Structure 1
Amino acid sequence: MNTPKKLVAAAVAAIALLGAPAQAETPPNVLVVAQNIDDIVALDPAQAYEFTSSEYMANVYDRLVQYDAEDTTELVGGLAESWEIDEENRTITFTLRDGVNFHSGNPVTPADVIYSFKRVVALEQNPAFILTQLGWNADNIEEMVTGEGNTVTLRYDGDFSPAFVMNVLATRPASIVDSQVVMENETDGDMGNAWLNTNSAGSGAFSLQDYRPSEMLRLAANPDYYKEGPKLDQVIIRHVAEAATQQLLLEQGDVDIARNMTPEQIAALPDEGFDVVVSPQAAIHFISFNQKVPELQNPAVWEASRYLIDYEGLTSTLLDGQMEVHQAFWPKGFPGALEETPFTYDPERARQILEEGGVELPINVEMDVFNFAPFTDVAQSIQASFAEVGINFDIVPGTTAAIITKYRARDHEAIMLYWGPDFNDPHSNAKAFAYNSDNSDEGYASTTTWRNAWAVPEELNERTIAALNESDPEVRQDMYLELQRDVQAEAPFVIWAQATLQVGMAENVEGYVQGATADLVFYRLVEKN
């Protein structure tokens, strides 16, 4: 693929920054980002399932429908300019935009859409489950996804809300690839998988120009992008693992944006010359009680616990800049999120609830906690506040892998965790916090309800499925708001915070978009004044 000379020159200038002296300045037409990118395992949309690779795909590939830089909360047409939904027959027919080309210059066609979905299902890599929940498999995909003229018709097998289906189609594995280029680079029947992990074949605002694992990603602007094109010629994402080094590079002018600084480093930035973007992230933090433990089965314990966390104290001091108070299972920043926070730290009220509920005190229970900051510090604060009313936590720190394994086996007592959605639809978290159709040990489900052995009331199960299937968007949103209120008040979970992210940047950078998930990070609108 040919690269314009001005882009090559910019790239050389930007890469030279790797050895730049103090007070360097990044090129005016290049954005340089310091970020830990060693999580990348794959860049192929059919395989990639990591945070950094998700950000990469949001900028390099388009989908039929997507969330975009102008408004990360609104689902809009991507490669599809319009669509018709036939709920009765479970089909959606998309009309593709005219005149949209891949980076290669090849036009985007229905054949590319069909091929893209087919290869995700056929390769069966990590993210394939997101699409196969529509009832797609290797045997039926050619019947479920078809094309004619400039349209693509998708069929799905399930009584799903069209909103749910559309959100599935806006996810990473639904990215559309240039079938001609990918097939030309196929090796040993891998459908271009190896090649796509070091090259791109998209139609997005940027294309991949260079990738060096644990070193850098270099993206070149697509001047022919069908929407407003990127304002800068290139984005260079440098792998910088140490947060302190990121801060130093930002202050010296060697980078324009630092993505992984700590709150302390953010606070230490000079008052002049720098800005900070603060964004809620999708991870919600909670404590849950295993219902196999008799002492934790009384709903009065769950209710009292909601008044034994110093929400404001924790988020304004110990966790300042890392979390904010949030008390519902669907995160702020997504359509349909419940932002009401009815619970406050009130030990006296908790004592009254425990007494009226007939709870025998003291309760002594183990609480599993990740063995690194800020989790250990938060656990100690919560341990002290719960002890005031006779609920005594024995903190059991462990590695992430050990705790998750214990949790999946339902062998814990109490546990402090966080949870994030797999895709941008409330059902992604509703199924985790408000649904459990089989509470037997043999009925394993990757949900926090099953893992905590909570036999969800059948009425709540039915409402969760009803919300999944509801076709009216406004009615559906109201149903999820009510589900969140009920789980907030009546489930064996105490949801207490949502992660936030602080991004430091030079004050001349404008237009950077940091949404609630890695799928919602965009560079297309960035400019340097």
Structure 2
Amino acid sequence: MALRKIALALLAATIMALPTTKPARAADGTAITGAFDVGPGGFQGNFNPLAATGGFTWLNLYFEPLVIYDGKLEKIEGALATKFEVSADRLSYSFTLADTKWHDGQPFTSADVKFTIETAKNGATGSVFAARLSAIKAVETPDAHTVVLRLSAPNAGLLDTLTQLMMLPQHALKDIAAETLAKNPWWSKTPIGTGPYKFSRYVTDQYVELAANDEYRGGKPVTGRIINRYFANTAAAVAALRAGEISFSYVEADDAASFKGNDAYRVIDGNSFVVNYLGFNQEAPLWKDLKVRQAVMHAINRDAIVQSLYGGAAKTANCGYVADRLQPAGLDPYAYDPEKAKQLLAEAGWDKINGDKPITLLTYYNTPQATNVLAAVQAMLSQVGINVVPRAVDTPTYNGTIYAQKPDWKQFPLVYAGLRNGPDPGGLNMGLNEKQIPPQGANFLRIRMPSVTQAFDAALNESDDARQAERYQAVCKAMNADLPWATLWVANRYGVASSKLKNFVWLPAPGGGPYAAHPEKWAVE
């Protein structure tokens, strides 16, 4: 309980909700309003799916990928592709496209798919997909409704990657220079997709409003408009939820418990499929010695944080995975041992490397729970002589810092972040493989560890499904031994929806999914 009280004084100043302009009601009188981007995974601002690392729950209302996870995150099914086939050698992927139109009435064709993939492979566009799609050597379009991807080598994570690659309209974007595409105002002013809802308007830092796409191939949406309101934090969103101003929000564990037993609400919980970690910027001389990284692991009482601040709804991680099938025997558990941490720091010469100089701990997690977690981590590291100073910023600021053209490691020598470790375990590759260093991918910590890269390459190139778990165990072993991160835990996540919402689907998916939520069926009483 002591940890739970840390930093409570910081919350009082951030309870106020941001919106001051009220969204319009739908012409047919129906609207669903929610806090869809509150909490981890939010991505307000530019709405560019090529650069998005989260917020896919919302983006998928108007943009759509070729394939998507089902509503249980168990298998991949067609979205804009009505069917798809993978060759026996895993070098060819064939997609049959849906007969549908963009929101401006233009037909969706294979030319759009080719344009999207080639744009996403171009690092100059600010895409976070460039390295993940590098195995695609050719995109063939034999006709308007067929696409064939030819790979230079098998890539076990390709379909998983394609679930997050939203298709883009060639006719609307082809004349925009690649170098200016990332921050072009089109994304937040006039974007068009193929989804069940059309972009209507964005009021800066207040809300985004979508209108029903009456021509949607899945049927006319039941609800006229869906509105995404922005809040300073989960506390403000929860207050709006209780007041009936919104019908849904991500919530923290404590708030979720307070809604249980109340028939006016439905509590949704599940595995986040996100591993939280302290990331060591490899450009910073602070972390070059493995003993220093080991000391960080031993200094943090992860079990105490999980029990006190997560209420036990998390599982400590000794590599990027917590699933039993992905963990080999013999992993170092890095038990809480501050004396061993001090010894390791002394052996590494920490006094000369840094001593008690403050080290910025950058994060995009700005919820009350995260504030308490970081306060606990800060206190524990301080006890062994490592002085970290947490700095929480919004997601666009965080991404702008870590993905800057010439990043300054002093701005983020250490980060508290999360990365998807499922449903496909290959998701971690984007943050750890040397080939994924920006602008090619999301390895913004500039991790260059041959053992880790080679283990991921072997896993992604494995064509035998029966050997996949073994390959990812090798990844786990390399992470555990070399510590590119100080892995912490995988936690459950929660959402609360009004009982007035019908056919509403939300999952605590990594990065917000996407997944087959069928928003065209959502209704409100």
Under a length normalisation based on structure 2, what TM-score does the superposition of the two structures give?
0.69
CA 90–315 in structure 1, closer or farther in 2 if over 3 Å, else same? same
1:418 maps to 2:420: no
Distance in structure 1 (CA, Å) of the matches to 2:23 and 2:348 = 63
Distance in structure 1 (CA, Å) of the matches to 2:181 and 2:281 = 44
CA 265–230 in structure 1, closer or farther in 2 if over 3 Å, else same? same
Identify the residue that residue 125 of structure 1 maps to in structure 2: 125
CA offsets 1:458-497 (integer angstroms, 9 cap, x no match): 5554332211211233423431133124423553643112
Larger radius of gyration: 1
Alignment match of 2:307 (pick from 279, 304, 316): 316
Q: How far 1:129 sits from its partner (Å)? A: 4.3
Kindly report which structure 2 residues correspond to 1:80-479, keeping only aligned pairs within 5 A, or say none.
80-86=81-87, 90-97=91-98, 99-103=99-103, 107-118=107-118, 124-127=124-127, 129-130=129-130, 133-134=133-134, 144-148=139-143, 150-156=145-151, 158-161=152-155, 163-172=156-165, 174-177=166-169, 179=170, 182=172, 195=186, 197-222=188-213, 225-227=216-218, 230-241=221-232, 243-259=234-250, 266=256, 269=259, 271-272=261-262, 273-281=264-272, 283-287=274-278, 297=289, 306=297, 308-320=299-311, 324-327=314-317, 329-330=319-320, 346-347=335-336, 360=347, 365-366=355-356, 368-370=360-362, 377-378=372-373, 381-382=376-377, 391-398=384-391, 415=414, 417-420=416-419, 426-430=425-429, 432-433=431-432, 435-436=433-434, 447=443, 450-451=446-447, 456=449, 458=450, 460-479=452-471
CA offsets 1:173-226 (integer angstroms, 9 cap, x no match): x4143x56x38x979999996556433433223222443333332333446544
Distance in structure 2 (CA, Å) of the matches to 1:328 and 1:346 = 10
Paired AA for residue 111 in structure 1: A
Distance in structure 1 (CA, Å) of the matches to 2:194 and 2:187 = 14
Is residue 430–residue 441 contact of structure 2 (8 Å, CA) maintained in 1? no
Paired AA for residue 58 in structure 1: N
Q: How far 1:308 sits from its partner (Å)? A: 4.5
Is residue 252–residue 369 contact of structure 2 (8 Å, CA) maintained in 1? no
Give the match's secondary structure for 2:229: strand
After superposition, the CA RMSD in angstroms is 5.3
Distance in structure 2 (CA, Å) of the matches to 1:115 and 1:449 = 30
Q: How far 1:262 sits from its partner (Å)? A: 5.5
Q: How far 1:327 sits from its partner (Å)? A: 0.8
Give the match's secondary structure for 2:471: helix
Give the match's secondary structure for 1:314: helix
Distance in structure 2 (CA, Å) of the matches to 1:39 and 1:509 = 24
Give the match's secondary structure for 1:114: helix
Paired AA for residue 75 in structure 1: I
Distance in structure 1 (CA, Å) of the matches to 2:482 and 2:181 = 49
Paired AA for residue 325 in structure 1: K
Distance in structure 2 (CA, Å) of the matches to 1:405 and 1:166 = 25
Paired AA for residue 159 in structure 1: A
Is residue 287–residue 417 contact of structure 1 (8 Å, CA) maintained in 2? yes
Identify the residue that residue 526 of structure 1 maps to in structure 2: 522
Give the match's secondary structure for 1:255: coil
1:40 maps to 2:38: no
Distance in structure 2 (CA, Å) of the matches to 1:362 and 1:413 = 22
Paired AA for residue 526 in structure 1: W
Distance in structure 1 (CA, Å) of the matches to 2:204 and 2:21 = 18
CA 278–65 in structure 1, closer or farther in 2 if over 3 Å, else same? same
Give the match's secondary structure for 1:517: helix
Is residue 273–residue 423 contact of structure 2 (8 Å, CA) maintained in 1? no
CA offsets 1:89-119 (integer angstroms, 9 cap, x no match): 943222224x444445555332332344455
Is residue 132–residue 430 contact of structure 2 (8 Å, CA) maintained in 1? no
Distance in structure 2 (CA, Å) of the matches to 1:106 and 1:413 = 44
Distance in structure 2 (CA, Å) of the matches to 1:169 and 1:285 = 24
Identity %: 17
CA 16–175 in structure 1, closer or farther in 2 if over 3 Å, else same? same
Distance in structure 2 (CA, Å) of the matches to 1:295 and 1:50 = 26
Q: How far 1:341 sits from its partner (Å)? A: 12
Identify the residue that residue 484 of structure 1 maps to in structure 2: 476
Give the match's secondary structure for 1:60: coil
Alignment match of 2:69 (pick from 59, 67, 70): 67
What runs of 5+ residues in structure 1 fail to find an aligned partner?
1-14, 21-26
Paired AA for residue 388 in structure 2: I
Is residue 36–residue 239 contact of structure 1 (8 Å, CA) maintained in 2? yes
Distance in structure 2 (CA, Å) of the matches to 1:462 and 1:121 = 22
Under a length normalisation based on structure 1, what TM-score does the superposition of the two structures give?
0.69
Identify the residue that residue 52 of structure 2 maps to in structure 1: 49
Give the match's secondary structure for 1:208: strand
Q: How far 1:59 sits from its partner (Å)? A: 1.9
CA 148–528 in structure 1, closer or farther in 2 if over 3 Å, else same? same
Q: How far 1:412 sits from its partner (Å)? A: 10
Identify the residue that residue 507 of structure 1 maps to in structure 2: 499
What runs of 5+ residues in structure 2 fail to find an aligned partner?
1-18
Is residue 133–residue 158 contact of structure 2 (8 Å, CA) maintained in 1? no
